[in-house]
Amino acid sequence: MTTSEEWIAGARPKTLAAAIAPVLVGTAFAGYNANTLNFLLALIVGVGLQVGVNYANDYSDGIKGTDKDRIGPMRLVGSGAATPEAVKRAAFIAIGVAAIAGVLLAARTNWLLLGVGALAIVAAWTYTGGPKPYGYFALGEVSVFIFFGLVATLGTYFSHVGSLSPQVILASFAMGLLACAILVLNNLRDLEKDKSAGKITLAVKIGDTQTRKFFQGLIFAPLLVALALVPTSFFFLLAFLALPQILKVASAIRSGVSGNALIELLERTGKIQIIYSLALSLAMLLYAR
């Protein structure tokens, strides 16, 4: 019988920064127009979809045999800790919770969000599921950038304000870049296993060296976004609080670390996203006061 600890590990809680950060930023950029209930509903949508994607990925990769002998977090199906049917059911439950919260949020704000949410659910399942999973064709980063960057940040902001601003659009790009960085690092860790299993991620397609360069670009680029926001307020320089962690992770990646060492870097990359998003949110709140 699968333990609660195994289910929690299978949900990959260390990836949740990618779901929480854009909701925080979207809410902070709404300033005094932010609504607490809308924030909580948007957070449930984001976290529910992230957990749902993780379980769906576990299920789909597990039944394809892609997750055998993997480095990294618990794979419920691949390790035999849970049956494929149980993991599939857990994915549907998580996505269902996100869908309910999304309907409530749309009902409170604008029904346009319902269509966007439906697209997000389809993207969540077809990442590694279905007859032609786009995660197997080097398109995972594109989806993550769109849904955990643009859609999550702008959708949250829109739920509070009912419109968009140039500043929050820039912020959404930064969130997307950092979410992509987490996926790129994850795929760098799994590069050889994915290649042998026939899973063509972007890392497999461009190779180890270029993946490392791409990752470094992804974690430094959000600082350029912060600089682009400086004409709005010098408070956005607070985003550079993430620079020490960025430099440490970039240095480790350039040194060629691999295998289990990349797991620690994944945790640090999640911290970068949290530090950056909190700094960006604080900057906006200080500007709006």
22 pLDDT more than 90:
yes
CB 268 within 8 A of CB 245: yes
From CA 7, how far away is CA 64, in angstroms rounded? 20
**Mean pLDDT computed over 226-248:** 97
Helical (H) or strand (E) element with 94: helix 84-108
Helices and strands counted in the chain (H then E): 13, 0
User: Which one, of 83, 19, 95, 17, lies nearest residue 56 by Cα?
Assistant: 95
**How does residue 132 score in pLDDT terms, banded at 50, 70 and 90?**
confident
Report the pLDDT value the prediction gives residue 260, as an integer from 0 to 100: 84
The total of structural domains in the chain comes to 1
C-alpha distances out from residue 14 to 21, 95, 155, 228, Å = 13, 18, 23, 29
Mean pLDDT of the chain: 93
pLDDT tens digits, 209-220: 999 999 999 999
Going 182 to 280 to 151 to 19, the CA torsion angle's sign is positive
**Mean pLDDT computed over 264-282:** 95
Domain containing residue 57: CATH number: 1.10.600
**Mean pLDDT computed over 265-271:** 92
Q: Model pTM greater than 0.75?
A: yes
**Mean pLDDT computed over 212-238:** 98
pLDDT tens digits, 31-78: 989 999 999 999 999 999 999 999 999 998 888 877 666 666 778 998
**Mean pLDDT computed over 187-200:** 89
80 pLDDT more than 90:
no
In three-state secondary structure terms, 201 is coil
Domain interval for residue 177: 4-288
